[in-house]
Amino acid sequence: GRAEPTVAWQIDTYGHSAAQAALSAQSGLKGMFFSRLHYQEYEKRKQERDLEFTWKSTAGNDTIFSSVLYQGYNSPSGFCFDTTCTEPAIVADPESPEYNLPQRLDSFLEILRDQAAHFRSGHIMLTMGGAFAVQNARQYF
């Protein structure tokens, strides 16, 4: 069979055309994720739990579900595991003196709960990475 995408991700756009919602909806897309928008708009949407919304086209009646990524496409703070990062590794071996799985898991879940609190649906896209953050995929994942 053939696959038809229904959701898009604008990974690193700087600005959005007023016609983007119409073009996306008319091409068959049902959803759009993006990360870059003016910082004041981002903060306002974050505080008002409006990071997900129906983007209404100015060029007609087209709409598309849209969601702003919480921290761009970066990993949650404290959870970058690449060679360029300084966060502590997750040590899952209970016999290790550096065992930290329960604490790291609690921290990770706290970050996710905080992120979900800024979205009306409570659904989030968890991104793991960032610009130039995955230099060593084997180590990272």
**Catalytically annotated residues:** 12
Under 8 Å between Cβ of 14 and 36: yes
First to last CA, the chain: 31
Beta bridge partners of 32: 8, 66
Q: What is the DSSP letter of 4?
A: -
Write the DSSP assignment of 95-120 as a string of letters: TSTT--HHHHHHHHHHHHHHHHTTBS
Contact 33, 7 (CB under 8 A): yes
Extended strands (E) in 30-92: 31-34, 52-56, 63-68, 70-73
Query: In the 8-state DSSP scheme, what is residue 50?
Result: B
